[in-house]
Amino acid sequence: MSDHPASAPHTSRGAGARPLRCAVIGAGMAGILAAIKLTEAGLTDFTVYEKADRLGGTWRENTYPGIACDVPSHLYSYSFALTPEWSHRFSAGDEIQRYLEQVAADYDVRSRIRFGDEVRSLRFEDGRWALATAAGHHDTVDVVIAATGVLHHPKLPDLDGLADFRGAAFHSARWDHEVEIDGARVGVVGTGSTAVQITGAIVDRVAHLSLFQRTAQWVVQQENPAYSDAERSEFQREPAQLAALYDELSDQFGVFARAVVDAASPEMRFIEQACRENLDTVRDPELRERLRPDYRAACKRLVVSPNFYEAIQHPNAELVTEPIERVEATGVRTRDGRLHELDVLVLATGFRVDAFLRPIRVVGRDGVTLDDVWADRPSAYLSITIPGFPNLFMLNGPNGPVGNFSLIEVAELQVGYILQLVDQLRGEACTEICATAAALDEFEAARVVAARNTIWSTGCRSWYLDDRGIPMVWPWPFERFRAEMAAPDLAAYERR
Ligand code: NAP
């Protein structure tokens, strides 16, 4: 693995700094990152709490056929641990899992993880966080970094009769590898990124695939070439090439990020054109029209695939657009009265995206609970800090940049910012720091206004939208996020 110049340490380690004990919650991509950066900053007194028995987060949990990351692997990498080893432009989930395990081993993170013990509660008492786990373990820490993930809690569909199904039924994030799908009649509910990847991976293995589409998706075509041994050797010999590739990909995603936050931009028209041209490759005009969305491309999270339209035209595949009426013992009945007989039913129905660090019970200053503060919806200043909850920081928290980006790049910028806040605590400028309510209100008001100009507000149903129909994401260009993360504006902070 090689170092990228962007990976400079973020905080001072001056002698005389106040010793701080920290807890990181979650040993996925962001938790591993936090552990590495805390150590580099000289904050070595910490534990990473992980409820599962393996690290890896989303890449541990999602093992469905076809799982890959549709952000190029050379960007979906830690900037300080670039690797020449990626097999493909978009590598598979198990390869990403191995990469995370390797980075955790290289940086000695594993020994810092307390596996199989779920954090149940956090209570701010006497200026510190009292942490309690399911196993009855207690810890008292100065700083908590919640790296609990966004797309984590499976959302099961409310389908009548689901419990009556006699075949195997499971959510895509709980894939049951004991269940035979070769030669089986498989139903997949959903047409998001997950369902599209599953469809491409299994269509030629099953006897029949019924893809239940409630809403058509725009799909952008992306080939997924393998890197040759010669290319990998070249990356090995010339690590500077890896760093240059990372920067180039990051810039390309920056262009995409600028496009989606300005629905009227020419770049957005270009993306829409690419999606239309991809759809035009569908040979049967009737199928093509059933696959055509009635909203703008990238309004829902843009689906990226090398093969979806080919897969859905495979003789084994059937696109079902008739709404699901109910599930029965032997299959799915659609509203036209037809029974689609199935052996396996895969629910690729997405995630509950408003939980963040909940269901952990979090009690902040003066006994105020996070459930109360977030009763309407989650919010956080710059997606990181919540008024009244000092020294608690989130990675990939509410309203941050999500979607078609590298969440690793996002988390790295956030960690750098958080460590500068922690420096305030170390330097004895204060013992408690969190955003002021006024800063959060102002941020939220500006965010809601900016969100109106984004592609996500142009008229579709998606997991980006909150209960008011406002996108729960960063509505400005990525450059602005980068600039905000460079250094905290301490005027937005209450320090005690
Ligand atoms: P999703 O995008 O939320 O899609 C869920 C699908 O299930 C939608 O098609 C939805 O239909 C359908 N659905 C939900 N409830 C239904 C019901 N009761 N009846 C019929 N259909 C129902 O979920 P996802 O595909 O798991 O993806 C979630 C996110 O994970 C992605 O947007 C992406 O951010 C991430 N992801 C990333 C990658 C990657 O390669 N980087 C891969 C997979 C996932 P409607 O559209 O009508 O609501």
Task: List average pLDDT for each run of 10 residues in the chain, which is 496 residues long.
Answer: 50 68 98 98 98 97 97 97 97 98 98 97 98 98 97 96 98 98 98 98 98 98 96 96 95 90 93 97 98 97 96 98 98 98 98 95 98 97 98 97 88 98 93 98 98 96 96 95 97 97
Fill in the amino acid letter for 397.
Answer: G
How many CA within 13 A on the CB side of residue 213? 22
> What DSSP assignment string belongs to 3-54?
--TT----S---TTPPP--EEEE--SHHHHHHHHHHHHTT---EEEE-SSSS
- What separation in Å is there between the alpha carbon of 190 and the centre of ligand 1? 6
Residue nearest ligand 1's atom 32 by CA: 301
Residue 405 has what pLDDT?
Answer: 80
- Which alpha helices (DSSP H) does 141-192 contain, by range? none
* Mutational test site, ligand 1, from 96, 151, 474, max ligand atoms within 8 Å of CB: 151
CB 211 within 8 A of CB 201: no
Could you tell me the end-to-end alpha-carbon distance of the chain, in angstroms, rounded to an integer?
A: 41
Residue 9 has what pLDDT?
Answer: 42
Strand partners, 143: 22
- What separation in Å is there between the alpha carbon of 463 and the centre of ligand 1? 8
- Residues framing ligand 1 (Cβ under 6 A): 68-71, 151, 157-159, 172, 189-195, 197, 212, 214-215, 301, 324, 348-351, 461, 463
Of 443, 441, 438, 435, nearest to 389 (Cα)? 435
- What separation in Å is there between the alpha carbon of 279 and the centre of ligand 1? 19
As a whole number of Å, the CA-based R_g of the chain is 23
Residue 17 has what pLDDT?
Answer: 82
Strand partners, 327: 332
Residue 429 has what pLDDT?
Answer: 86
- Cα 395 vs. chain centroid, distance in angstroms? 11
- Please state, as a whole number, how many other Cβ atoms lie within 10 Å of the Cβ of residue 409: 25
Residue nearest ligand 1's atom 3 by CA: 350
The closest-lying atom of ligand 1 relative to the alpha carbon of residue 192 is 25
Residue 156 has what pLDDT?
Answer: 97
- What separation in Å is there between the alpha carbon of 170 and the centre of ligand 1? 14
Distance CA 51, CA 329 (A): 35
Of 382, 399, 403, 372, nearest to 470 (Cα)? 399
Residue nearest ligand 1's atom 10 by CA: 190
Residue 221 has what pLDDT?
Answer: 95
Residue 16 has what pLDDT?
Answer: 61
Residue 353 has what pLDDT?
Answer: 93
- What separation in Å is there between the alpha carbon of 193 and the centre of ligand 1? 6
- What separation in Å is there between the alpha carbon of 284 and the centre of ligand 1? 25
- What separation in Å is there between the alpha carbon of 115 and the centre of ligand 1? 29
The closest-lying atom of ligand 1 relative to the alpha carbon of residue 402 is 34
